[in-house]
Structure 1
Amino acid sequence: MISKAYPIPRAAAEHFCLLCCDLVIWACVWTALLWLDGEGRLDLWCLWALRTISCVVLYSIITCISDSSSQPLLKRWAALLSFLPPLFDSIQTILHGTGRAFSPFPDPGMVILSTATSTLIYMVWEMVFTQGGPSKGSRNQKKDEEARALLMRVIHYSRPDYLHLGAAFLFLSLGALFETFIPYCIGKVIDILSGKYQHNNFLWAIGLMALCSLGSTMFTGLRGGMFMCSLSRLNKRIRHLLFQNLMKQEIGFFEDNKPGSLTSRLISDTDKMGRSVAMNVNVLLRSLVKTCGMLYFMLSLSWQLTLLTCIEMPLLAFIQNSYNNFSQKTSKELQDCNAETTELASSVIGSMKTVRSFKAEHQEQQRYEQTLNRKLQVLRRKGVYSAIHLLIRRFITVGLKVAMLFQGRNLISSGQLSNGSLLAFVFYQKDMVTNMRHLVYVYGDMLNTVGSAVKVFQLLDRKPQLREAGHLAPEKLKGRITFEKVTFSYQSRPDQMALKSVTLELSPGKLTALVGPSGGGKSSCVCLLQRFYDPQEGEMFLDGEPLYRYQHQYLHQKVAMVSQDPVLFSGSVRYNIEYGLQDCTLERVEAAARKANAHNFICKLEQGYNTDVGECGDQLSAGQKQCIAIARALIRDPQILILDEATSHMDCSTQQAVQDVLNSITDQTVLVIAHRLETVEKADHIIFMEEGEVVEQGTHRQLMAKEGRYHRLREKLFNLEAQPVG
């Protein structure tokens, strides 16, 4: 065993020992074979036999001098070291019909080239493609495995487009093959022009080059069109699935995830996912087909120059892979910065009135500038690494190209290569390096872009944290609601109980009012009643059945709510009133608007019921928005109607009209959260809540007789309303 105290690293010592052993075995076995042959020359099969013997001996040495963890790596390197030289000689013999003259003393140049090529191929394989070797940390290995799994899942989403992708791959292969022939044709033209000119041969070469150019152009255009079509279909499919799953999430999810971030995932990240399949696979397959074709032509022109090219490609692949690892990290940081910037800009622009009223323009500008500075720092760091990467890559490319030109001059002098063949090889070599760089870059970029899919897949896989809705949908619903010892806290504030063992009942045909100070739990009761959340303890019943057993669509058809600040959508007045209903007639819309005392002002609008209300209803006043929201609730003829300060912005006549509608209700369950005395006093049942608990409940007269918390609140509100204005 090699001592760990050896002056050089253990791995390098083991590789150096194997190289020395390989040279000794080569010389000994080769001398023995030459002595047995007696003619001073051996056939090609003897070389393969020699290298097979060398490989077997090296495997035995590896088993003796190395531990079990490094044996697979050393054996792969020994196999490359043993069989790469006879492989090159075999290719040369097949292409040219002649091989090199062999001697017991190996050519130093061939030893250096074969050793360097074997080592570089080995390094690239271990660092770029191998997943199980110790050269990769377990953390990076796990991340790469996860990225590959995500990539396969993205490809799975492309299965419905297999016809489009199949046609695109066919056109891609044909276009790449035609393009590969172009440098070969150029070399033939140069040879014809530099030698004795023959007009027919010249026309044939020009015609072949034109045909290859035309075929490459036509099939490349068809390939691009088919891939773009597949990309568009994939983006539509993923966005639809993601939006569909987002609509199923509980309300707490949207409180924890800001709209700007979700919008970024829905638009930007899904687009990156599509590109990782359609565009990168496009480049990957095209580069692979072209690389195979060019490698065939390069070997037919000169195996020596091809060997030099093979040295350049692993070096560039190793450098590109190192850069890809860094780029993957910075791309994730940029992704987070873009999401933060989008969310901040969206929130500020959407709340411009509030920003302007508090003179917070400068503060928001500073916040936005800070997010841009963080993004700039990431981009600056990425730019520095990119410059270093390009400098090293260009240095290697230029250095090996100069060496290739020197070797090409020697081959031309010896008559092994023509001027046109050298020019064709230079074109092939340039395209070969570019394609190999694309292969390694696309491999890393696919893992990088698929990293954008992590959040998308997390959202696609997320299940709502509510109990699954049942299938109850009775034809007749009374509307009796019961809270039994309900305890609830919001996910963002798990330590603060919004409701503490609340027990109450809402009866059909009665108006129930929830009153109490802010933060008492009134809105929490309403949220639970609409099944925006599930309680941690206790249960809510509707007509004696647990609320979660009712069908989702049925429950929200029977329960309608009007909030203090209702949300209207960009669109017409009619669209907002009939929102969520199918095949709703204009007569129903007008009838609901009359009940809500909205018909008169709607008719005075420029286009009546077809008037656009603007973004979030900005073209209407607060009172008009409340009227439309009440009409939107009444048109559904709900069995349970919830009004949360729904008339706070209305004028007196409109409030009286809405109050008349409430007074006329005979069989519906109405829950009102209000602070106006008139609404509270006329309620059939009043529930006073404070700090998440039901403190008092009863009729107005009963609660006033107790002279408790409701009495004190009523006296306070009475004094405020009686106080003169101005």
Structure 2
Amino acid sequence: STSCNSPSEVHILVSYHALVYVSTVCLDTAILCALSLGTAELLPLFGNHDVLGGLVCMWSVAITRWALICSLLLSNVDLKQRAVMKRWAAAHCFLGSVYESCRQVMFGGPLESGAGPLENPWFLVLNTVAAAATCLFWEITFPDSNKENNRKEKKQKTMVLFIRVICFLKKDLVILAGALIFLFLAVLCELFALLQTGKIIDALGSPSHWNDFPSALFLMSLFSFGNTLSVGCREGFFSCAISSFTRKVKVQLFGSLVFQEIGFFESTKTGDLASRLSADTGLMGHVVSLSTNLLLRTLIELLGIMVVMFGLSWKLTLLILMEIPLTSLLQSIYDTYYQRFSKEILDSMARANDVASEVMAGIRTVRSFNMERNEALRYSKTLLEIHSLRTRRDVVRSIYGLLRKVTDLGIRVAMLCYGQKLILSGQMSTGTLVFFIFYQRDLGNRIKTSVWILGDIVNSLSTAEKVFEYLDRKPQVSTDGTLQPDTLRGHIQFHNLTFSYPAYPDQPVLQGLSLEAKPGQMTALVGPSGGGKSTCVSLLERFYQPQDGEILLDGQPLQSYQHQYLHSKVAMVGQQPILFSGSIRDNIAYGLKNCSMERVIQAAQKANAHEFISQLEHGYDTDVGEHGGQLSGGQKQRIAIARALIREPQVLILDEITSCLDTESEQMVLQALANCPSQTLLVIAHRLKTVERADQIFLIDRGVIIEKGTHHELMEKRGKYYKLREMIFTEKADLKIIL
């Protein structure tokens, strides 16, 4: 909790606090020696069996020790650390007195440690270690610093995430209930099988009990079979529940993603989304399986073992339970580092997936520029980053495993030492201690498993946070419109539009732009690249929301129209159309239910696509391949045009569609469009023939309209449109000369 400016200051501070701690322990030992000698002389005054007098002496010694430590050593420690050290000193000084007092209230009997722990030096060592571990566990779990509120908020957030994950299992409660029933049956059968095993051992060890052997063997076999059957049924039920859970999460996540605005996909990489859909949803299912299966089973077994151990020796059981705060402390520290590394690994894996997807999608470009080695090296660097993070995570895991082994060894040594004392005092037999050791091993395994599962659940929940972030995200472009008129004229009006893309908010693309597209007319947008032409189309398609101004369709704001209705009346064909895996027929009838083959053929004929489709081996059932890779650019363009024409939209947007078409196909498409006199046609084109036929032309540059009018009117003005036409004409002439 103390900030330092350099590593040397940190080392000095740590050394100082270590020195204070060691000095305090040494001082307390000296004080305890002196006070123990004095109280040993006072005890006979109360009587050798006066428990009350012994407790009074113990509490007096503890209070004196705590007061001397606080006044002599801790007064020079800074305020922030003084509170921590005082809490440790209190635990260190009063732990023995509290233990003896509670034991007397519950069980009675003579004092174990008396007034002088010097008779049992191990008690002083054990008391020191227990107090330090308890205080350290308390300070980490409930820190007295400014970060306490953040830690509480983090725990609350984790609990909310866990509850939300479990809520996905509401519809599978019957399956989950069956799994829990078999879980309890499996644990009960296992415990009874162990009990019968003990009876078998007793029967074999004593000839007088040999008659009990057959019945014990039968019951052990029966319970073992019941355990095996219950375990198999439990795993089957849990597998069904987890499979259903994962499917639901993936469906909801995918449904949430596809409704996000286009700007979201431009700022979020595809590899990241794919990683959330595949890896993270699987980890969420992992949380369910651990929390409802392994954790419950382990806790039930832990409870049963503790009941048996308390029956054998409650003193040794309390000693062994010291392992819980120590293991929890180690797990808490381990989880902090593990969560950080896990999150970084997942992010790195998402970046690696994004690199691989990007290269595979653009393999033609990579090959044409001879960048195979460079892209392989780039992918190798991302994998090297993942390897480095995993190595660091595994080092932390190894250190954590080592410390757990040392803790377990220390608890076992303390148990054997204290067990020897109990045997010498006649409070326990050697056979009972041996039996207790076996149970201690099982108890330790259950404690470690429980703590590990809880930590793993917390680590897995950190991945669920990103999934729920996407699930809860509301699209910035609303689709809540409800307007669905019976007839739509297709009158479009842009009023003072101002727009900047979300990734570049300080770079306006449109600045107060206004234009009008009337039904039955062809409106052309021309101008240099980057001037804002395609942006107008994107706004009309509701891909983005303008920062200022509005778009009216038949006098109504565009956002007031119902989402599905709007896109059934407004269709767009882009310059680089995307086809989906499947047949040509499926791509033309994309999004239409019960679309007849006659409509598909008519749309293909209008787009001048029917001829080349008929020449294919499978005709309209030909698979186009991924992204239409089995077709040429012109063929994909004509199929995309047919996909738009089959809907018979009132507003048709053509964004440079003639760039991949030959002259004959272009003329046939334009002729087909001319046969729809009531349709509003918005065209972005550079070809002169397309532009010349337009009823009105808008020249857009840097987000504003420079000129507008018909082709003849703009040519007469001899403005920028005229210069643009002349430049295109000159370039074509030069190209012909070169050819």
Scaled by the length of structure 1, the TM-score of the pair is 0.87
Give me the whole-angstrom Cα distance separating, in 1, the residues matched to 2:179 and 2:28: 47
1:606 aligns with 2:617: yes
Percent identical across equivalent pairs? Answer: 42
1:344 aligns with 2:372: no
Deviations 1:428-451 (A, max 9, x none): 222211211122222222221111
Alignment counterpart, residue 340 of structure 2, candidates 321, 329, 332 = 329
Alignment of 1:468-479 (within 5 A): 469-479=480-490
1:217 aligns with 2:231: no
Contact 2:323 2:408 in 1 (8 A): yes
- 1:270 alignment partner in structure 2: 281
Deviations 1:263-304 (A, max 9, x none): 111221122122223324422222221111111222323445
Find the residue that maps to 2:698 and give its secondary structure: strand
Contact 1:132 1:141 in 2 (8 A): no
- 1:259 alignment partner in structure 2: 270
- 1:202 alignment partner in structure 2: 213
1:258 partner letter: K
Alignment of 1:101-180 (within 5 A): 105=116, 108=120, 111-112=123-124, 115=127, 118-119=130-131, 122-123=134-135, 125-126=137-138, 130-131=141-142, 133-134=144-145, 140=151, 142-180=153-191
Give 1:521 shift: 0.9
Give me the whole-angstrom Cα distance separating, in 2, the residues matched to 1:187 and 1:428: 13
- 1:40 alignment partner in structure 2: 49
Give me the whole-angstrom Cα distance separating, in 2, the residues matched to 1:686 and 1:325: 63
Alignment of 1:409-488 (within 5 A): 421-467=432-478, 469-488=480-499
Alignment counterpart, residue 633 of structure 1, candidates 608, 621, 644 = 644
Give me the whole-angstrom Cα distance separating, in 1, the residues matched to 2:94 and 2:567: 70
- 2:578 alignment partner in structure 1: 567
Alignment counterpart, residue 556 of structure 1, candidates 567, 572, 590 = 567
Distance 1:431 1:664, change over 3 A: same
Contact 2:200 2:213 in 1 (8 A): yes
Contact 1:51 1:82 in 2 (8 A): no
Give me the whole-angstrom Cα distance separating, in 1, the residues matched to 2:26 and 2:706: 86
Alignment counterpart, residue 241 of structure 2, candidates 227, 230, 236 = 230
Q: Point out the more displaced range, 221-230 or 80-89.
A: 80-89
Deviations 1:566-620 (A, max 9, x none): 0011111121111112222222222212211222222232332222211111111
Alignment counterpart, residue 688 of structure 2, candidates 677, 682, 688 = 677
Give 1:326 shift: 1.5
Give 1:468 shift: 5.2
1:714 aligns with 2:725: yes
Contact 2:62 2:94 in 1 (8 A): no
Alignment counterpart, residue 520 of structure 1, candidates 520, 527, 531 = 531
Alignment of 1:635-714 (within 5 A): 635-714=646-725
Deviations 1:236-277 (A, max 9, x none): 222222212212211111000011111111221122122223
Aligned residues: 714
- 2:302 alignment partner in structure 1: 291
Give me the whole-angstrom Cα distance separating, in 1, the residues matched to 2:662 and 2:540: 29
Give me the whole-angstrom Cα distance separating, in 1, the residues matched to 2:255 and 2:17: 63
Greater RCO (CA < 8 Å, at least 6 residues apart) = 1
- 2:507 alignment partner in structure 1: 496
- 1:534 alignment partner in structure 2: 545
Contact 2:484 2:565 in 1 (8 A): yes
Give me the whole-angstrom Cα distance separating, in 2, the residues matched to 1:174 and 1:55: 52
Alignment counterpart, residue 380 of structure 1, candidates 387, 391, 395 = 391
Alignment of 1:236-247 (within 5 A): 236-247=247-258
Gaps of 5+ in 1: none
Give me the whole-angstrom Cα distance separating, in 2, the residues matched to 1:252 and 1:72: 54
Give me the whole-angstrom Cα distance separating, in 2, the residues matched to 1:234 and 1:78: 52
Find the residue that maps to 1:151 and give its secondary structure: helix
Give me the whole-angstrom Cα distance separating, in 2, the residues matched to 1:641 and 1:51: 96
1:395 partner letter: V
Contact 2:494 2:516 in 1 (8 A): yes
Contact 1:41 1:101 in 2 (8 A): no
Give 1:525 shift: 0.7
Q: Point out the more displaced range, 523-532 or 683-692.
A: 683-692
Distance 1:6 1:594, change over 3 A: closer
- 2:10 alignment partner in structure 1: none
Give me the whole-angstrom Cα distance separating, in 1, the residues matched to 2:199 and 2:122: 30
- 2:5 alignment partner in structure 1: none
Contact 1:190 1:419 in 2 (8 A): no
- 2:7 alignment partner in structure 1: none
- 2:629 alignment partner in structure 1: 618
Give me the whole-angstrom Cα distance separating, in 2, the residues matched to 1:11 and 1:279: 40
Q: Point out the more displaced range, 175-184 or 571-580.
A: 175-184
Distance 1:40 1:244, change over 3 A: same
Deviations 1:700-722 (A, max 9, x none): 11011011111112122223445
Give me the whole-angstrom Cα distance separating, in 1, the residues matched to 2:704 and 2:628: 36
Q: Point out the more displaced range, 158-167 or 690-699.
A: 158-167
Contact 1:182 1:213 in 2 (8 A): yes
Contact 2:256 2:470 in 1 (8 A): yes
Contact 1:317 1:436 in 2 (8 A): no
2:640 partner letter: A
Find the residue that maps to 2:659 and give its secondary structure: coil
Deviations 1:351-395 (A, max 9, x none): 111111111111101100110111111122122222333333333
Find the residue that maps to 2:496 and give its secondary structure: strand
Give me the whole-angstrom Cα distance separating, in 2, the residues matched to 1:197 and 1:124: 54
Contact 2:525 2:697 in 1 (8 A): yes
Distance 1:620 1:80, change over 3 A: farther
Find the residue that maps to 1:672 and give its secondary structure: strand
Find the residue that maps to 2:519 and give its secondary structure: coil
Gaps of 5+ in 2: 1-12
Contact 1:313 1:436 in 2 (8 A): yes
Give me the whole-angstrom Cα distance separating, in 2, the residues matched to 1:420 and 1:136: 50
Give 1:163 shift: 3.4
1:383 partner letter: D
Give me the whole-angstrom Cα distance separating, in 2, the residues matched to 1:470 and 1:154: 32
Give me the whole-angstrom Cα distance separating, in 2, the residues matched to 1:552 and 1:497: 27
Find the residue that maps to 2:260 and give its secondary structure: coil
Give me the whole-angstrom Cα distance separating, in 1, the residues matched to 2:125 and 2:227: 35
Give 1:212 shift: 3.8
Contact 1:249 1:465 in 2 (8 A): yes
1:171 partner letter: F
Give me the whole-angstrom Cα distance separating, in 1, the residues matched to 2:130 and 2:172: 41
Give 1:524 shift: 0.6
Give me the whole-angstrom Cα distance separating, in 2, the residues matched to 1:512 and 1:681: 11
Give me the whole-angstrom Cα distance separating, in 1, the residues matched to 2:246 and 2:53: 55
Deviations 1:78-124 (A, max 9, x none): 8865444465678888xxxx888785556626734862575366247
Q: Point out the more displaced range, 71-80 or 207-216.
A: 71-80
